[in-house]
Amino acid sequence: MDDKLMLMIPGPTPVPEQVLLAMAKHPIGHRSGDFSKIIAEVTEGLQWLHQTQNDVLILAASGTGAMEAGIINFLSPGDRVLVGSNGKFGERWALLCEAFGLSVERVTAEWGKPLDPAQFQTLLAADTAKQIKAVIVTHSETSTGVLNDLKTISQSVKSHGALMLVDAVTSLGATSVPMDDWGLDMIASGSQKGFMLPPGLGFVAVSPKAWEAYSQAKLPRFYLDLGKYRKEAAKNSHPFTPPVNMFFGLQVALKMMQAEGLENIFARHHRHMTATRAAMKALNLPLFTSDQASSPAITAVAPVNVEAEQIRAIVRKKFDIVMAGGQDHLSGKIFRVGHLGFVSDRDILTAVGALEAVLQELNYEVTAGAGVVAAAQALSA
Ligand SMILES: *Cc1c(COP(=O)(O)O)cnc(C)c1O
């Protein structure tokens, strides 16, 4: 049915009508006083979301552009870095660092399992010569639905002295990422995930310690030179022509988030994760991650005796609900339900109900209604 498409993928995520309407306006001049006011307001909102006093800079880029900025501004060719790799996005960090000539050491875990903080601790403790310049971790590994233990990893990094660089693309706005409390030095994210916006903006938060590294860093940079963004941001301005309509949307989205409150936002995502997981268990659909390491943004399911891709195709065709498939070697093995950003309890019940109807159609053994009952119970707990 036209106009009924429901995105339950981990980005792009659904966008509230208020945000869409705010964006459906004539652009204004990016050097105008009106635009300066918007920059000032959204910058404050972004600091609130990152729980930080640090700079949070806004780029016209997808999340990967923010990640790239987070590397090239703070490191130099040949620098040794530890990169957590337990999924597609952790591996993206490793490839990105290799592309810029860094000396990458991967700390790996099987896809679907969390990174082991003790492995980082051991490597950092052994590095008495302080050759490790940065530790780079994906907080919520979107490809598998794993939430890595960033807090514990960052404690070891802090006592070592290396920079802690983080992809929080699907954790920011879904769970607490207290930049200052945890001593994170750089956080990269993108608008189409927890921000309730379309794709188009990347965000990079930078600690004072990372700015010190910036002044020594020797990788080439121009468009993504964060010093330019910092200098202009101090005057509520932007070094280039930013997508001004995205800023209109960001202004409204942040207002909505502030009205809901951080604790309520995190509680909502946690509730949706719990309800989705309870429903999958009730439907005999094996979860791909453990309860202890599951991301509040996304639930990955590894069905047996029924094809993941067949489930996805029918959910899409009959119910206009888009769920994500598996990436790389997980293609065809898992499907992923995104519950990130502008998602309500009603959406979770709808998705679970649709999934249940599809399983019945495929003659998969389920107790009729079990998924919806389990989800409803979890939502009302
Ligand atoms: C979506 C995503 C990104 C960024 O992807 P883009 O397509 O460049 O926006 C990076 N990391 C994670 C964990 C993601 O989920």
| CATH code of residue 375 | 3.90.1150.10
Identify residue 271 by its one-letter amino acid code. Answer: R
Instruction: Output the CA 249–ligand 1 centroid distance in Å.
Output: 20
Ligand 1 binding pocket includes 12 (Cβ within 6 Å): no
Ligand 1 binding pocket includes 54 (Cβ within 6 Å): no
In the prediction, which pLDDT does 1 show?
Answer: 84
- Specify whether 248 is located in the same domain as 303: no
Instruction: Output the CA 138–ligand 1 centroid distance in Å.
Output: 10
In the prediction, which pLDDT does 377 show?
Answer: 98
- Cα–Cα distances (Å) from 96 to 62, 99, 115, 283, in that order, read 14, 5, 19, 39
Ligand 1 binding pocket includes 295 (Cβ within 6 Å): no
In the prediction, which pLDDT does 381 show?
Answer: 86
Instruction: Output the CA 340–ligand 1 centroid distance in Å.
Output: 13
- The 3-class secondary structure across 164-189, one letter per residue, is EEEECCCCECCECCCHHHHCCCEEEE
Residue 129 lies in a domain: yes
Instruction: Output the CA 16–ligand 1 centroid distance in Å.
Output: 21
State the distance between the two ends of the chain, measured CA to CA, in whole angstroms.
34
Residue 2 lies in a domain: no
Residue 10 lies in a domain: no
- Specify whether 281 is located in the same domain as 237: no
In the prediction, which pLDDT does 140 show?
Answer: 98
Q: 187 - beta bridge partners? A: 166, 205
Q: Are strands 321-325 and 335-338 parallel, antiparallel or unpaired?
A: antiparallel
- Specify whether 196 is located in the same domain as 316: no
Q: Which residue positions form the known binding site for substrate?
A: 336
In the prediction, which pLDDT does 192 show?
Answer: 98
- Specify whether 224 is located in the same domain as 140: yes
Ligand 1 binding pocket includes 203 (Cβ within 6 Å): no
Q: Which of 230, 259, 288 is a domain's end point?
A: 259
Gyration radius of the chain's alpha carbons: 21
- Specify whether 114 is located in the same domain as 184: yes
- Specify whether 128 is located in the same domain as 224: yes
Among candidate residues 253, 197, 206, the one with its CA nearest the CA of residue 234? 206
- Specify whether 317 is located in the same domain as 220: no
How far apart are alpha carbons 125 and 106 in whole angstroms?
A: 16
Residue 5 lies in a domain: no
Residue 69 lies in a domain: yes
- Specify whether 255 is located in the same domain as 266: no
- Specify whether 165 is located in the same domain as 150: yes
Averaged over successive runs of 10 residues, the pLDDT of the chain (381 residues) comes to 93 98 98 98 98 98 98 98 98 98 98 98 98 98 98 98 98 98 98 98 98 98 98 98 98 98 98 98 97 98 96 97 97 98 98 97 93 98 86
In the prediction, which pLDDT does 2 show?
Answer: 85
Identify residue 78 by its one-letter amino acid code. Answer: G
Total domains in the fold of the chain = 2
What global pTM score does this model have? 0.98
